[in-house]
């Protein structure tokens, strides 16, 4: 699957955004029950929706903290891997921190974005001098009423595949 081509098509096509959502929920089996929906994608910005449905709720009918954390992970990781050459680099979630601000009683949308300069200076340049980096990514999660539900900080370890030593 060529992620770059899919992202380019999904920027302009709701059909390809639905295909991307389907793939996002199937590539990682843990994500499937959440039913994530790609609402917007561009080269440097991604918005992913977490539906307000039974599987995503806690015991008091608010969005579950772990569902919101998974939303932060998915949105930051997917946009990064779509911009990096997947055959050249691999991403591993090193740490995930969440600050919860408001209880979610409607669907939530995570937004993650970066500039081209950020990608160049914080990822590509450092990887020319070392085999791995740790990249902190801030993800803002809002509900449909504009309430700031949570802020996620995903720390991604990015490493060149050539630096990965496989055990045989």
CB neighbours of 79 closer than 8 A, spacing ≥ 6? Answer: 41, 44, 45, 46, 112, 113, 114
CA dihedral in degrees (18, 24, 25, 27; nearest 10)?
130
Write down the domain spans for the chain. 3-160
Average pLDDT score over the chain: 90
In order of 163, 165, the CA distances from 168 in angstroms are 15, 9
CA distance 25 to 69: 15
Secondary structure element (H or E) that encloses residue 125, with its range: helix 125-129
DSSP reduced 3-state for 97 = strand
CA angle 156, 52, 148 (to 5 degrees): 60
**The pLDDT of residue 137:** 97
Tokens of 84: 């990096």
Dihedral of alpha carbons 34, 38, 39, 41, sign: positive
CA distance 158 to 85: 11
Q: What is the pLDDT along the chain (168 residues), one digit of tens a residue?
A: 577 777 888 888 889 889 888 888 787 778 888 999 999 999 899 999 999 999 999 999 999 999 999 999 999 999 998 888 767 889 999 999 999 999 999 999 999 999 999 999 999 999 989 889 999 999 999 999 999 999 999 999 999 877 666 565
CA distance 162 to 58: 42
**The pLDDT of residue 60:** 95
Q: Looking at the domain covering 3-160, what would its CATH class be? A: alpha beta
CA distance 73 to 154: 6
């Amino acid at each position: 699957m060529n992620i770059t081509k899919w992202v380019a098509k999904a920027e302009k096509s709701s059909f390809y955004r639905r295909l991307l959502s389907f793939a996002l929920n199937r590539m990682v089996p843990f994500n499937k029950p959440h039913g994530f929906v790609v609402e917007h994608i561009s080269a440097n910005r991604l918005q992913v929706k977490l539906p307000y449905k039974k599987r995503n709720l806690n015991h008091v009918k608010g969005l579950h903290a772990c569902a919101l954390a998974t939303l932060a992970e998915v949105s930051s990781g997917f946009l990064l891997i779509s911009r990096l050459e997947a055959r050249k680099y691999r991403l591993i979630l090193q740490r995930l921190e969440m600050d919860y601000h408001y209880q979610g009683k409607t669907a939530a949308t995570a937004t993650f974005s970066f500039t081209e300069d950020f990608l160049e200076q914080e990822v590509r340049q450092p990887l020319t001098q070392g085999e791995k980096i740790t990249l902190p990514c801030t993800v803002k999660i809002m509900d449909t009423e504009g309430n700031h539900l949570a802020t996620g900080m995903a720390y991604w370890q990015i490493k060149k595949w050539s630096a990965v030593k496989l055990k045989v």
